[in-house]
Homo-oligomer: A and B are copies of this chain.
């Protein structure tokens, strides 16, 4: 064997990552691997899943694009190939970092956690703007060097506020909004008009304790474990597809304040992990569930 064949690109910097899904059929793994091989690609990693009940095939495949096509051209070609075998696909090109916006209110633990991980190189994106309904985090955002936009929201001004938010998101080419304890419900209209994913952190182990003040609910029920849930936002509050959940043990000694403090760690770890997986193109939504290729 040619010893140079052992030299390979690092698995953490593939050139292309595709997520595909569609009706299951025989030979899909082979067809996808064959197309990539025929187009001078070298598969770095591939993972797939079959939902037996629904008869759906899911795959995530990363490859080094070593042929003559540019990465963009290879991505387009793969997308067309996937379509030809009945699969929907999203193909991400290495080096194209999506722009994201963080929506935040006053609680700042998830906000800091996301930004510090981003600065440490853990999140492959550009955090382009911070949007808040309060002024509190302006100074912190400025010291991080990220534009901060204060858009107050009241019942009456909500439509106007959402219009202003949408304009900002469009102007900056934002492809993901992260609600880092934003405390406001986005309207169905906002979600449709934005047209990209929104990830939220709910401070309970869904489906337990939907709605407001989940730590108060947990305290009253006397649970021995609390949780946090990161999910895609849909029209139905707290009902969207779950990406990740974190849990921690508690006892009768935990007052509501102690639950809230302990929960902060859960919330930030769980949200950051979900955002990281999303940014690495590891999450596929189908129905109201997710496939996470971790």
- Give residues in A with beta carbon < 8 Å to B: 1-2, 5-6, 8, 10-12, 23-31, 33-34, 36-37, 42-52, 55, 86, 108-109, 112, 116, 120, 122, 143, 205-209, 221-225, 227, 241-247, 251-253, 255, 257, 261, 264-265, 269, 287-292, 294
Nearest CB in chain B: distance from A29 CB, A: 4
Chain B positions within 8 Å of A221 at CB level: 206-207, 242, 288-289
Contact pick for A222, options B1, B47, B242, CB 8 Å: B242
Q: Is the CB of A245 within 8 A of B224?
A: yes
Q: Is the CB of B10 within 8 A of A52?
A: yes
Q: Is the CB of B242 within 8 A of A11?
A: no
Closest to A55 in B: B6
Measured in the bound complex, the distance between the Cα atoms of B291 and A112 in whole Å is: 33
Q: Is the CB of A264 within 8 A of B120?
A: yes
7 interchain residue pairs of minimum CB distance = A222-B289, A30-B37, A6-B55, A30-B33, A208-B208, A33-B33, A5-B25
Q: Is the CB of B24 within 8 A of A5?
A: yes
Chain copies in the assembled complex: 4
Q: From known contacts A86-B1, A109-B120, A209-B207, infer whether A225 and B252 are also in contact, taking CB-CB under 8 Å.
A: no
Q: From known contacts A24-B8, A47-B47, A49-B253, infer whether A245 and B264 are also in contact, taking CB-CB under 8 Å.
A: no
Nearest CB in chain B: distance from A56 CB, A: 9
Enumerate 5 A-B pairs (CB-CB under 8 Å) in ascending A order. Answer: A12-B255, A45-B48, A46-B48, A206-B221, A225-B227
Chain B positions within 8 Å of A294 at CB level: 251
Chain B positions within 8 Å of A247 at CB level: 225, 227, 247
Q: Is the CB of A25 within 8 A of B48?
A: no
Chain B positions within 8 Å of A47 at CB level: 47
Measured in the bound complex, the distance between the Cα atoms of B48 and A253 in whole Å is: 10
Q: From known contacts A25-B1, A49-B252, A252-B289, infer whether A244 and B264 are also in contact, taking CB-CB under 8 Å.
A: no
Q: Is the CB of A222 within 8 A of B290?
A: yes
Nearest CB in chain B: distance from A254 CB, A: 11
